[in-house]
Amino acid sequence: MKDNAKISSAVIKRLPRYRRYLSDLQKKNVDRISSNELSNLIGYTASQIRQDLNNFGGFGQQGYGYNIQSLYNEISSILGLDKDYKMVIVGTGNLGQAIANYTHYYKSGFMVSAMFDVNPKLIGLRINDIEVLDYERLEEFMQDNSVDIGIVCTNKDSAQEVVDKLCAGGVRGIWNFAPTDLQLPEGVALENVHLSDSLHSLAYYINRNSQMKDQD
């Protein structure tokens, strides 16, 4: 296996897609699949699939392909999905509540242990039996509880302060939905989900497709 630090982020971002398709195949009681067959399902080339998986070791066998259950388990382990993660959400407006509901029903080892907000109308609200706490209690909660992931659903002006408190409290990763770039200490992982960036990219492709049709 190669040093994971040297594996490109593009490869890592493709792994959850592989895992999702493998999960669907398991539900259909499919035992094995070739890279060519997987290519037809996912849309990546067979060569790309083999290159991606070879970063982590030889999972396939010549003439046999990939054992779906084994490959699913290997990718789950590579992604760290064989562990459980405790999370807190800061900012429990519509987006924060939607994420809390998603993680609750998805039930994939990511557990929301607390939620925080500054809005008096939201403080005390229970979402999936988790009470929304006053943001002023965040630092105290972080001192008393082990938290792996901080989920930031605040406005951009508050996000950096929130992240500073989460990092000081020992989180190992930040899932950021605030529309701003953040500064994190070394050793804390960051995944940005900029909804407006994604929507703007979609607008580009819509207009590009329209222009191509006009040229036909």
pTM of the model: 0.87
Give the per-residue pLDDT at 214: 76
| Structural domains of the chain in order of their starting residue, each with its CATH number | 4-78 (1.10.10.10), 85-197 (3.40.50.720)
Tokens representing 37? 């067959």
Chain centroid offset of residue 24 CA? 19
Average pLDDT over residues 17-43: 94
List, for residues 146-203, the tens digit of each pLDDT value. 999 999 999 999 999 999 999 999 999 999 999 999 999 999 999 999 888 889 999 9
Give the per-residue pLDDT at 106: 76
Helix (H) or strand (E) holding 48: helix 46-54
pLDDT > 90: percent of the chain: 78
Average pLDDT over residues 126-142: 96
Closest CA to 180 of 199, 204, 161: 161
List, for residues 37-66, the tens digit of each pLDDT value. 999 999 999 999 999 999 987 676 666 789
Cα–Cα distance list, 173 to 86, 95, 189, 216 (Å): 11, 19, 4, 48
CB-CB contact of 30 with 66 (8 Å): no
Give the per-residue pLDDT at 1: 45
Give the per-residue pLDDT at 216: 66
d(CA 21, CA 74): 14
